[in-house]
Amino acid sequence: MDPIVIVGGDAAGMSAASKFKREHPEREVVVFERGAYVSYAACGMPYYVKGEVASLDDLLTVTPEEFVEERGVDLRLHHEVVDVDAEERVVTVEGPDGRFTQSYDQVLVATGAHAVVPPFEGMDLAGVFTMHSLPEAEAVRDFLAAERPDSVAVVGGGYVGIEMAEAFDAHDVDVHLFEMLSHVMAPFGETVAKHVEDHLRDRGVHLHLDTAVERFVGDDRVTGVDTGESVVDVDLALVGVGVAPNTDLVEAAGVELGETGAIATDEYGRTNLPGVFAAGDCAEARHVVTGEPDHVPLALTANRAGRAIGQTMAGDETPVGDIAGTAVVKAFDLTAARTGIVDEDRAREAGFDPVSVTITAASRAHYYPGAEEITITMLGDRDSGRVLGATMVGREGVAKRIDTVAVALHEGATAVDLSYYDLAYAPPYSPVWDPVLTTAKVLDGKLG
């Protein structure tokens, strides 16, 4: 029997390979990875640049040698799949020794995503970086060490931009953050954004909101950021304006894409072509609130889908699972989190009649030292009473509280259901009425 072939060796691909080999150790699994690394923690790269993570090797979940020697996976680094022939069940591969073909029984496309490179003049200047791979993170840290810049620009106020602003600040440089929208962290909503913006300013970050970058200035290396109205002098620029799914390979093979631009799949990760699966940052998944396909490239989604597809390939059909878009971001001393649908316009487009409430509550019992404020915005549907999503921001207790709301979304819980959850209480960790419970009670009152 032909082997299982995996295209891409990060979270989804290696999770699938490992799961399949556990189920069928006698079967051959071949993984083609065009880079030098597999199964690495991309989310840890800002903390490597910051210096909190000492080595790139610390970001490796499982080494290539472990996959080969302990798990029996035929791993081929520096091998890029350039064509998939679903009719013949063959992939074409470019490797160090030239081009060759590999037949397959089933194939998983786990090609991930790439950093969006805006059409700015000067993107090719020395000192201008994107960061979506370990080599890019290493290049940024090496540049900081060698050049010791006085001022850096971060273009984009999303996850990467916020985390990299903190990373650069740790190197004692002036940080300028440019965001073309009126607020940073757009998916988290205006309430969270304003808290984060105030905190960034308090930490000395220069915010340039409603500011579109036109080009980078410099001869051989970057010396400034031109916004059309002014030029801000910088010695390094990091562009983090988002990611896009890697779909060129499968588009040429006839795999259908969804409305999001990512690969369309069914609940088991199957594409429209027989024997071809897709998972991870290149693929869509079903949103738990809307029931519709969505593209939210996050680590857990990729790992979970890859593992499920590995089991399905092994003969035990396993759904990849729904997503809620649950995410958390560290912004210096603040934590911001979100889950579900947090934008009222999007909720209306999905057919809901949204109602939102915002409360601010203490993270601990009022008498216990160290209590901090948590601000929570929660959305519900007036017709059904169902919780649609929430955002949170605060200095402590945010990261795990968002998970409570995520569970409620997966259960289809109403606001009154959530208000009755039996959550843990002790003065060092929560008031008697946890802020999530309080928000749900207030939301239920407004929905009623």
Question: Which among 43, 42, 39, 41 has a CA at the least distance from the CA of 16?
Answer: 39
Which tokens sit at 138?
Answer: 């290493």
Question: Which among 207, 100, 75, 85 has a CA at the least distance from the CA of 154?
Answer: 207
Mean pLDDT of 71-92: 97
Q: What is the tens place of the pLDDT at every residue in 128-149?
A: 999 999 999 999 999 999 999 9
Residue for token pair 């934590």: 335
Question: Which among 427, 391, 398, 421 has a CA at the least distance from the CA of 408?
Answer: 421
Mean pLDDT of 307-319: 98
Which tokens sit at 401?
Answer: 């509280």
Q: Which residues, in sequence order, are bridge partners of residue 6?
A: 31, 108
Mean pLDDT of 320-344: 97
DSSP 8-state class, residue 52? S
How would you list the strands of the sheet with 80-85, edge to edge? 80-85, 90-95, 98-103
Give the containing element (helix H, strand E) for 222.
strand 222-226
List of domains in the chain: 4-35+78-114+244-313 (3.50.50.60), 117-241 (3.50.50.60), 334-447 (3.30.390.30)
Give long-range contacts, CB 8 A cutoff, 24+ apart: 213-219.
Answer: 213/118, 213/120, 213/155, 213/178, 213/180, 214/120, 214/121, 215/120, 215/121, 215/122, 216/120, 216/121, 216/122, 216/123, 216/125, 216/128, 217/122, 218/122, 218/125, 218/126, 218/127
Which is catalytic among the residues 36, 43, 68, 145?
A: 43
Contact 12, 18 (CB under 8 A): no
C-alpha 303/C-alpha 266 separation (Å) is 17
Is residue 282 part of the annotated active site? The answer reads no
Which tokens sit at 114?
Answer: 């790439």
Mean pLDDT of 404-432: 97
Contact 268, 276 (CB under 8 A): no
Collect all residues with Cβ–Cβ distance below 8 Å to 327 and sequence separation of at least 6. Answer: 159, 187, 296, 298, 337, 338, 339
What's the pLDDT at 271?
Answer: 98
What's the pLDDT at 93?
Answer: 98
What's the pLDDT at 448?
Answer: 83
Going from the C-alpha of 121 to that of each of 42, 348, 350, 361, the distances in angstroms are 27, 39, 39, 47
Q: What is the tens place of the pLDDT at every residue in 221-248?
A: 999 999 999 999 999 999 999 999 999 9
**pLDDT above 90 for 380:** yes
Mean pLDDT of 81-93: 97
Contact 135, 126 (CB under 8 A): no
Note the pTM of the prediction, 2 decimals: 0.95
**pLDDT above 90 for 191:** yes
Residue for token pair 């207790």: 397
The total number of residues written for the chain in this structure = 448
The beta-strand segments (E) located in 301-410 are 327-331, 334-340, 354-362, 373-381, 387-394
User: What pLDDT band is residue 396 in, cutting at 50, 70 and 90?
Assistant: very high
